Amino acid sequence: MLIQFVQIAALLAVLKTAHGSPTTRFAPHAIVHHHPSHLHPEYDYVNIGGGTSGLTVANRLTEDPRVSVLVIEYGYLDNEEAGTTLPGLPVPDKYVRTEESVPQIGLNGRTSQFKTGAVVGGMFFNRGSAEDYDSWEELGNPGWGWKDLLPYFKKSETFTPPSLQIANEYADIISPDLAPHGTNGPQEPKSNVKASREIILAAGAPYSPQILQLSGIGPGNLLEELGIETIVDLPGVGSNFQDQPTMFMQYTYSNYPYPSPEWLTTNETWTNEQLSLYYHNRTGPMTVPFFSGTLVAYLPLQNMTDESDRILHTASRVNTSSLLPINSDSTVLAGYHAQTQILLDRYRSAHTTVQEVAFGGSGSVPVALLKPLSRGSIQINTTDPSKTPLVDFGTFSHPTDLEIAVEAIKKTREFMSSVPMQETGATEIIRGANVTSDDEIAAAIRNFARSTWQHPTSSCSMMRRELGGVVDPSLKVYGVQGLRVVDASIMPLIIGSHTSSTVYAVAEKAADIIKAAQKH
């Protein structure tokens, strides 16, 4: 089946090589339209989603002046407010879409908010380990291992050498992301537009499976329940959903040696001084991601705890089939089992990180579980495309995740109890130093952890179809011609870091794959 038509609504960003008056913030060949009536009836490519991956692919495809690409974005174009251009300030709420998950059994029935529309959180630009990407290849994706992806990481980066004063540090500067921020745009009349070559779905991990399911591509039983004609029965659409559960520990400091990040929101005089400093010479705290700081540790399991052998032995005996919904397709179960075996092997490595702890100097110290064994899902429960799908993170559905989370809290306490940190008078206030036993810590985690580090992935996984995969190594959707998925949802396994740089690399590689396909 050839997908040729898509419904368009709200804000439209067009990248093409025809006439028009491009805005200065976009590529020279970019034209921005705000109404469907301004569009051509047909483009070579139609990209659904104007985020990191969607615009990267569009930019590369339009390097050929004969190629036209329509990028459809549901959100706003920002007005270059300080919160969208200064790392040290929060992104305005207008540009961040906030939704709620379904109640999480592993969090004692609590829900978790998740956010999209801000360049996958936009906090750190770092890669996973080589083993993270080699695991993708091990799951049946030739050409997606570390050695093949590395050139695309480099292609998406602009490196600025360090000054003499910081010669032992480095700075990777992300090429400007042209994405409109946010997803709460005005509703417009529906129109049709034709893609003469391909449609590229880049709506992000929560929404790409939603669009596929609404289009009749997904689990047949789900589509049948909603009265949607099944075009392709593809059980993996919306399955294998992954994110990084996070615990925010809280501290007070009685002897703080320098201004706190909280001053940026509580001390107007100091904040204005720092804004002036930033605009004058691009220095000061405004250069640091808001409340994230520059100190972050990534730890493998063996460096995090002396209990790693015991944890892995217990994990190897867990029946993974019992952890997914009872109606899960056999292909999805097979894929989960294969992934679990790879992850347990990687957990033994000194090169695979499982914990992140970020210290930015504020009272909040986030501790993230980077490569969980638990799996969630994305499922529609209505045919109304304006409604958010049911987002289930499946937090702590695999018991090993909670064990590792307990060890992560203990390791963070060890760091906060070190001599340098104690010189600041650091005192844990939530959940408190009186919570000490593993059982007490586990109970506390269930009551205060969040399901997400704002890095949703893997809901349209690149795996073999018999493993519950949705796209092949060329990112083509199984059973459909002319349709690819290019965003974080294709990652079969979440990486042990933040995801933005990997999404850029995936998009860069995808652009080359698409270009090569058109030559044949």
Question: How many domains is the chain built from?
Answer: 1
Flag whether 340 is in a domain.
Answer: no
Question: What is the per-residue pLDDT for 294?
Answer: 64
Contact 434, 92 (CB under 8 A): no
Question: What is the per-residue pLDDT for 179?
Answer: 40
For 283, the enclosing helix (H) or strand (E) is none
For 433, the enclosing helix (H) or strand (E) is none
CA distances from 456 to 53, 494, 499 (A): 14, 8, 9
Say if residue 85 carries a ligand binding annotation.
no
| CA of residue 61 relative to chain centroid, distance | 23
Distance of alpha carbon 128 from alpha carbon 428, whole angstroms: 30
Distance of alpha carbon 26 from alpha carbon 176, whole angstroms: 10
Question: What is the per-residue pLDDT for 115?
Answer: 83
Tell me if residue 34 is catalytic: no
Question: What is the per-residue pLDDT for 286?
Answer: 84
Flag whether 437 is in a domain.
Answer: no
- Considering the candidates 38, 313, 455, 520, report the single residue annotated as catalytic: 455
Question: What is the per-residue pLDDT for 27?
Answer: 64
Q: Which two tokens stand for residue 205?
A: 């991990």
Question: What is the per-residue pLDDT for 397?
Answer: 98
Say if residue 451 carries a ligand binding annotation.
no
DSSP string covering 321-380, please? GGGS-TT--HHHHHHHHHHHHHHHHHHTSTTSEEEEEEE-SSSEEEEEE-S-S--BEEE-
Say if residue 116 carries a ligand binding annotation.
no
Tell me if residue 181 is catalytic: no
Three-state SS annotation for 25-55: CCCCCEEEECCHHHCCCEEEEEEECCCHHHH
Distance of alpha carbon 55 from alpha carbon 27, whole angstroms: 11
Nearby residues of 266 by Cβ (< 8 Å), 6 or more positions away: none
Flag whether 162 is in a domain.
Answer: yes
Domain housing 499: 1-80+90-116+141-238+377-391+455-520
Flag whether 313 is in a domain.
Answer: no
- pTM for the full predicted model: 0.88
* Helices 500-518, 146-155: crossing angle, 10 deg rounding: 100
Flag whether 363 is in a domain.
Answer: no
User: The CATH number of the domain where 459 resides is what?
Assistant: 3.50.50.60
- Mean pLDDT in consecutive groups of 10 residues from the start of the chain, 520 residues: 37 32 54 80 93 91 93 78 73 80 98 71 72 98 97 80 47 36 42 90 96 98 98 99 96 81 80 90 80 79 97 97 96 98 98 92 90 98 95 98 98 94 90 88 96 96 99 98 97 96 96 92
Flag whether 431 is in a domain.
Answer: no
Flag whether 499 is in a domain.
Answer: yes
- Considering the candidates 280, 313, 498, 520, report the single residue annotated as catalytic: 498
Say which residue the tokens 């579980």 belong to. Answer: 369
Contact 452, 246 (CB under 8 A): yes
Flag whether 206 is in a domain.
Answer: yes
